Amino acid sequence: MTDKTTLDLDKQKASWIKKASILSEALPYMRRYSGKTIVIKYGGHAMGDEDLALSFAHDVVLMKQVGMNPIVVHGGGPQIGRMLERLKIESSFIDGLRVTNKATVEVVEMVLSGNINKSIVGAINSVGGHAIGLSGKDNNLVVAEPLRRTWKDPNSQIERVLDLGFVGYPKHVNAGFLEMFQDTNIIPVIAPIGLGEKGETYNINADTMAGALAGSVKAERLLLLTDVAGVLDKDKKLVSELTEGQTRALIEDGTIYGGMIPKVDTCVHAVEKGVGGSVIIDGRVEHALLLELFTEHGVGTLIRKDS
């Protein structure tokens, strides 16, 4: 045996030992979450990058194989925007929500329930999983109502209701339908489309959809994959854990601001509805899901109930 062969074998052995060590450290966390439901909001850069998308698919399949019940809810704002541009359909935003008329909601459903949903399902199935694509319309999974926003005139201080069109908010979730998948090998992948009481189609914010589903099934964790590391303090350092009260205080003093406010609101509301903990995670980090669930300190910001 040559020196090079011996060196290669030593390197390979060291790699095996490292992997075995990682598995050994992860085992207690696998036991902790075995049989638990984990709702994952999948979107942002993680969904647009091929390597990260494949990493995500592997992570979700592993979660299922070690006994967890992952439920994936996905977004698709950039893809919707590109399709509307191609079709020359103009759209506007209010407080980050796309004003959705009848023509727009048809495109939204086509993109979310069609191309994006089936791409995620295909990726999970290609790495050994058994995913099924759904939307809130299936079996009345999510019955929605119109979402309203108010605007106050800075001069007159008169408030008026803004019509967002077919933008919805989850009014009722068919939790029993989701619970049917717990004892199967099927991974639900859900597009954030809701069904109105009169058969209307509603576009629902993916974070909001994920939070509503997590609360309805009393998930152990709600994981929001984003394009930021998590909640940052005034020195721009990651805050690893917050209570509901601490989160509200950071909003009040301006530490949490802008687009992060609706995300943490979703996390807090989910915890109030019985979710064990909500976590904002940087989806740009490879295997972010596993790092959050299978390591001592995780990689994002955990929001939990007040003690």
Domain identity same for 242 and 215: no
Out of 191, 219, 247, pick the residue that ends a domain.
219
CATH at 78:
3.40.1160.10
Domain identity same for 255 and 119: no
**Residue type for 238, please?**
L
DSSP class of residue 228?
Answer: S
Total number of domains in the chain = 2
Indicate if the pLDDT at residue 76 is higher than 60.
yes
Position 256 scores a pLDDT of 93
* Residue 18 falls inside a structural domain: no
CA atoms within 13 A on the CB side of 287: 8
* Residue 174 falls inside a structural domain: yes
Domain identity same for 210 and 231: no
Q: Residue 213: which of 177, 241, 243 has the closest Cα?
A: 177
Domain identity same for 211 and 248: no
Domain identity same for 117 and 208: yes
* Residue 166 falls inside a structural domain: yes
Encoding tokens for residue 85?
Answer: 């541009």
Encoding tokens for residue 5?
Answer: 């062969």
Indicate if the pLDDT at residue 118 is higher than 80.
yes
* Residue 32 falls inside a structural domain: no
Domain identity same for 171 and 202: yes
* Residue 299 falls inside a structural domain: yes
pLDDT band of residue 150 (cuts 50, 70, 90) is low
Domain identity same for 79 and 167: yes
Of the candidate ranges 15-19, 220-224, 244-248, the one whose mean pLDDT is the lowest: 15-19
| Cα 182 to Cα 113, 141, 173, 226, 230, distances in angstroms | 22, 15, 16, 26, 29
Domain identity same for 78 and 175: yes
Indicate if the pLDDT at residue 15 is higher than 60.
no
Task: Look up the pTM and report it.
Answer: 0.88
Question: pLDDT by residue (tens digit) across 190-243?
Answer: 999 999 999 999 999 999 999 999 999 999 999 999 888 899 999 999 999 999
Of the candidate ranges 40-44, 231-235, 296-300, the one whose mean pLDDT is the lowest: 296-300
* Residue 1 falls inside a structural domain: no
Domain identity same for 209 and 233: no
Encoding tokens for residue 79?
Answer: 């893809």
Domain identity same for 130 and 215: yes
Out of 219, 248, 276, pick the residue that ends a domain.
219
**Residue type for 192, please?**
P
Of the candidate ranges 61-70, 264-273, 292-301, the one whose mean pLDDT is the lowest: 292-301
Domain identity same for 207 and 237: no
User: In which region does residue 281 sit, left (phi positive, over 0), alpha (psi from -120 to 50) or beta (all else)?
Assistant: beta
Q: Which residue has the higher pLDDT, 88 or 269?
A: 269
Neighbours of 9 (CB within 10 A): 11
Domain identity same for 93 and 201: yes
Question: Mean pLDDT throughout 146-170?
Answer: 72
Q: Residue 192: which of 259, 129, 120 has the closest Cα?
A: 120
Q: Which residue has the higher pLDDT, 95 or 289?
A: 289
Out of 219, 237, 272, pick the residue that ends a domain.
219
pLDDT band of residue 161 (cuts 50, 70, 90) is low
Alpha-carbon dihedral 44, 94, 212, 220, rounded to 10 degrees: 40
231: containing domain: 227-307
